[in-house]
Amino acid sequence: MPHVDIKCFPRELNDDEKTALAKDITAVIVRHLQSKESSVSVALNEIQPAEWKAVWDAEIAPQMDTLIKKPGYSM
Protein backbone atom coordinates (compact mmCIF):
# COMPACT_ATOMS: atom_id res chain seq x y z
CA MET A 1 0.00 0.00 0.00
CA PRO A 2 -0.57 2.56 -1.44
CA HIS A 3 -1.83 1.48 -4.82
CA VAL A 4 -2.44 4.04 -7.59
CA ASP A 5 -4.85 3.00 -10.33
CA ILE A 6 -4.69 5.32 -13.33
CA LYS A 7 -7.52 5.15 -15.83
CA CYS A 8 -7.15 7.15 -19.03
CA PHE A 9 -7.96 7.14 -22.70
CA PRO A 10 -5.52 5.00 -24.68
CA ARG A 11 -2.03 6.44 -25.05
CA GLU A 12 0.85 5.19 -27.10
CA LEU A 13 3.38 4.96 -24.29
CA ASN A 14 6.35 2.68 -24.73
CA ASP A 15 7.80 0.71 -21.84
CA ASP A 16 10.35 3.42 -21.00
CA GLU A 17 7.61 6.06 -20.85
CA LYS A 18 5.46 3.82 -18.63
CA THR A 19 8.42 3.22 -16.34
CA ALA A 20 9.11 6.97 -16.12
CA LEU A 21 5.44 7.64 -15.32
CA ALA A 22 5.43 5.04 -12.56
CA LYS A 23 8.70 6.41 -11.17
CA ASP A 24 7.34 9.98 -11.07
CA ILE A 25 4.07 8.92 -9.44
CA THR A 26 5.95 6.78 -6.92
CA ALA A 27 8.17 9.73 -5.98
CA VAL A 28 5.12 11.91 -5.32
CA ILE A 29 3.49 9.22 -3.17
CA VAL A 30 6.69 8.67 -1.19
CA ARG A 31 7.12 12.42 -0.64
CA HIS A 32 3.54 13.18 0.39
CA LEU A 33 2.50 9.98 2.19
CA GLN A 34 5.89 9.05 3.63
CA SER A 35 5.54 5.58 2.11
CA LYS A 36 8.43 3.36 1.21
CA GLU A 37 9.10 3.10 -2.51
CA SER A 38 8.83 -0.69 -2.24
CA SER A 39 5.28 -0.31 -0.88
CA VAL A 40 3.91 1.62 -3.86
CA SER A 41 2.24 -0.06 -6.83
CA VAL A 42 0.94 1.67 -9.95
CA ALA A 43 -1.52 0.39 -12.56
CA LEU A 44 -2.25 1.98 -15.93
CA ASN A 45 -5.61 1.00 -17.39
CA GLU A 46 -6.51 2.39 -20.76
CA ILE A 47 -10.24 2.89 -21.26
CA GLN A 48 -11.82 3.51 -24.63
CA PRO A 49 -13.58 6.89 -24.84
CA ALA A 50 -16.92 5.19 -25.51
CA GLU A 51 -16.52 3.28 -22.22
CA TRP A 52 -15.54 6.26 -20.04
CA LYS A 53 -19.09 6.85 -18.79
CA ALA A 54 -18.88 3.53 -16.94
CA VAL A 55 -15.79 4.82 -15.09
CA TRP A 56 -17.61 8.07 -14.34
CA ASP A 57 -20.72 6.28 -13.06
CA ALA A 58 -18.86 3.72 -10.94
CA GLU A 59 -15.81 5.58 -9.66
CA ILE A 60 -16.02 9.33 -10.10
CA ALA A 61 -19.59 10.51 -9.55
CA PRO A 62 -20.23 8.42 -6.41
CA GLN A 63 -17.02 9.74 -4.80
CA MET A 64 -17.33 13.37 -5.85
CA ASP A 65 -17.52 14.56 -2.22
CA THR A 66 -14.28 12.81 -1.27
CA LEU A 67 -12.16 13.40 -4.38
CA ILE A 68 -9.13 15.51 -3.53
CA LYS A 69 -9.01 16.71 -7.17
CA LYS A 70 -12.35 16.97 -8.90
CA PRO A 71 -12.63 16.78 -12.69
CA GLY A 72 -13.34 19.90 -14.68
CA TYR A 73 -16.03 18.14 -16.70
CA SER A 74 -19.29 16.35 -16.01
CA MET A 75 -21.28 13.63 -17.71
Task: Per residue of the chain (75 residues), give pLDDT as tens.
Answer: 899 999 999 999 999 999 999 999 999 999 999 999 999 999 999 999 999 999 999 999 999 999 999 999 999
User: Is 0.95 topped by the overall pTM?
Assistant: no
Tell me: cis bond preceding 2? Omega within 30 of 0 counts.
yes
Rg of the chain over CA atoms, in angstroms?
14
Catalytic residue positions, numbered: 2
